[in-house]
Amino acid sequence: QVQLVESGGGVVQPGRSLRLSCAGSRMKFSDFGMSWVRQAPGKGPEWVAIISTDGSQTHYSNSVKGRFTISRDNAKNTLFLQMNSLRPDDTGVYYCASQCEGCLDNWGQGTLVTVSS
């Protein structure tokens, strides 16, 4: 079945940048819109961003707009999240997920981002 594997998480100081990746396999990656969803420790999920199949359309949550950029490389079956000006409240597990109609069907296991000095 569909496999999504996130990478790139780690510990980063406030104000710095980090780039997450999500590799898709066992799927025709270019056929799916893709999202990033994050979850702070002990909290519920928060939708972060979404990108259309060809990358031409993107949407962001208000909390990351202007700081984060979602992109994709369909030739490499990979989704990205460029995170700039990181803040402590950006800390959490970041999941990538494939899009169904108004929903998210396949999820990765997540990668942990910790923003701390």
Partner 1 sequence: DIVMTQTPLSSPVTLGQPASISCRSSRSLVHTNGNTYLTWLQQRPGQPPRPLIYKISERFSGVPDRFSGSGAGTDFTLKISRVEVEDVGVYYCMQGTDFPWTFGPGTKVEIK
List contacts with partner 1 (CB under 8 A): 35, 37, 44-47, 50, 59-62, 95, 100-105, 107-110
Tell me phi and psi for residue 29, to 5 degrees: -50, -40
CA distance 21 to 5: 8
Residues 12 and 114 sit within 8 Å (Cβ to Cβ): yes
Closer to partner 1 by Cβ: residue 9 or 45: 45
> To the nearest whole angstrom, how small is the minimum distance from the Cβ of residue 62 to partner 1?
7
Closer to partner 1 by Cβ: residue 15 or 89: 89
Residue with tokens 């780690």: 10
> To the nearest whole angstrom, how small is the minimum distance from the Cβ of residue 13 to partner 1?
27
Closer to partner 1 by Cβ: residue 80 or 95: 95
> To the nearest whole angstrom, how small is the minimum distance from the Cβ of residue 117 to partner 1?
28
| Three-class DSSP category at 38 | strand
Say if residue 54 is exposed, middle or buried (CB neighbours under 10 Å; 0-12, 13-18, 19+): exposed
Closer to partner 1 by Cβ: residue 29 or 36: 36
